[in-house]
Amino acid sequence: MGILGLVSFAVWVYELIVIARVVGSWFGADPRKPLMKALTAATEPVFQLVRPVARKIPGPIDWTPAIVILGLGLLRHFI
């Protein structure tokens, strides 16, 4: 596995982290628990970059995680 393979793997792992945070929030995981704190700390910097774009989408749903996952998937595709 070369450097591009490692980068692709890291992006895939980050996608899983984003998904874990979303699923945790859907099931009401306590945000004060260490796991949720770690997931939030890992994803929030990227979410903050995407939120201004996601807020332009009308409706009650926060599209930030979906946009991030889409972007990561595109990144992995082009690596």
Question: What is the per-residue pLDDT across 12-47, written as a single tens digit (0 to 9) for each?
Answer: 999 999 999 999 999 999 999 999 999 999 999 999
Supply the range of the domain harboring residue 43.
Answer: 3-78
Task: Give the pLDDT of residue 57.
Answer: 95
Q: How far is CA 14 from CA 56, 57, 63, 73, in A?
A: 25, 24, 17, 10
Please tell me whether the overall predicted TM-score, pTM, comes out greater than 0.85 for this model: yes
CA distance 40 to 45: 9
Mean pLDDT rounded to a whole number for the chain: 96
Total domains in the fold of the chain:
1
Q: Count CB atoms within 10 A of the CB of residue 65.
A: 19
Is it the case that residue 1 has pLDDT exceeding 80? no
